[in-house]
Amino acid sequence: MTTAIAITDSHCHLDFSDFDGERDALIARARAAGVTRMVTICTKLDNLRQVQEIAETYPEVFFAAGTHPMSAAEVPLVSVAELVALAEHPKFVGIGETGLDYHYTAESADIQKQSLRIHIEAAQITGLPLIIHARSADDDMARILREAYEAAPYSCVMHCFSSSPELAKAALDLGFYLSMSGIATFPKSQEVRDIFASAPIDRILVETDAPYLAPPPHRGRRNEPSYVALTAQKGAEVFGMDYADFAAATQANFDRLFAKAAAYEGRD
C-alpha cells in the first residue's frame, strides 16, 4: 500500500454541527489522505470547551480560539488576559480567528477593529501566530496589521486568502503567511491563483476551512480535512512543483509558523 504524502490542514472547524456523530470517521479519512495535523478553530469563546475537547481527543488535532469578526458585536469582547491564559494549554497553538469583515457586517466595523487589536496584543505577548479573516476591508486591515507590527512584531497567517494583491503584498512584507483554501481551486479564481503564484513558496499554507469551500469534485457539498490534499494538488500546479515537494514545503512552513504544534508533535 502506498503511503499518502504528509500534509496539514491549518484551519478547519471540527466542532461545527456538520460533523456531529462522525468525527471518528472524519479523522480516520484525514489520516488515510495523509493529513498529519489539523488546527480546529474556535470562533466564539462560548464554544471553547467543545473545541478543546476535540483537540484533546485526537492526537493530530490542535486548536486556536478567538472571536470571529462577524460575531464581534454579538458577544462580549474577549480580553487580552483571557486569550493569553488559553496559551497555557499544550495544544493551543494560535490566536483567532479574528480580523475584519465589511462584506456582511460593515455596521460593526468599530467593534471589529477593537476586537482585532485585542487579539493582536495577545499574539504579541504569547508569541503564537495570529489567524486573520479579511473580507472587503483591505485598507483597514493592512493599516492595522502594519501599525501593530511596527509597535511590536508578531507572526500571522492570512487565513483562506482571497483578498487583493495589495493586501497580500502588505502581509508578505511583514513576514506573514498566506493560506490557500478551496477557493484557489475554483475555475473562476485565477486572480487568487496569480496572487499565490507571485508569493514566496516559504510563506504558503494550505487549509480546508471545513465545512466550507470544498474543492472540486466536492464543490457545493460539505468540506472536510481529508480534502486539503486536493487543494494542495492545485497549489503544486500553481507553483509548478511536484505535489510531494509542494506538500513538504507547506509542512515546513506550518512547522515554522505554528512552532508550538511542531514541538508538541516531537514529544514522546
- Ordered DSSP codes for 200-249: -GGGEEE---TTS-PPTTSTTS---GGGHHHHHHHHHHHHT--HHHHHHH
Strands 156-158, 92-101: parallel, antiparallel or unpaired by DSSP? unpaired
The larger pLDDT score, comparing residue 217 to residue 3, is at 217
97 annotated ligand-binding residue: yes
68 annotated ligand-binding residue: no
pLDDT number for residue 268: 36
CA–CA dist 158, 177 (Å, integer): 6
Name the band, by pLDDT with cuts 50, 70 and 90, for residue 265: low
pLDDT cut 90: percent of the chain above it:
97
Domains of the chain by start residue, with CATH: 7-265 (3.20.20.140)
Q: How many CB atoms lie within 10 A of CB 266?
A: 8
Question: What's this model's pTM, rounded to 2 decimal places?
Answer: 0.96
pLDDT (tens digit, 9 = 90+) per residue, 128-147?
999 999 999 999 999 999 99
pLDDT (tens digit, 9 = 90+) per residue, 135-179?
999 999 999 999 999 999 999 999 999 999 999 999 999 999 999
pLDDT number for residue 267: 45
Average pLDDT over residues 41-67: 97
Average pLDDT over residues 13-28: 96
Nine-digit cell string for 180: 490557500
Average pLDDT over residues 209-220: 95
**Angle of CA points 26, 135, 106, to nearest 5°:** 120
| pLDDT at 213 exceeding the cut of 70 | yes
103 annotated ligand-binding residue: no
Beta strands across the sheet bearing 7-12: 7-12, 35-42, 61-65, 92-101, 130-135, 156-158, 177-180, 204-206
CB 12 within 8 A of CB 62: no
Which residue has cell 469582547?
77
Residues forming beta bridges with residue 178, ordered by sequence position: 158, 204
159 annotated ligand-binding residue: yes
pLDDT (tens digit, 9 = 90+) per residue, 240-262?
999 999 999 999 999 999 999 99
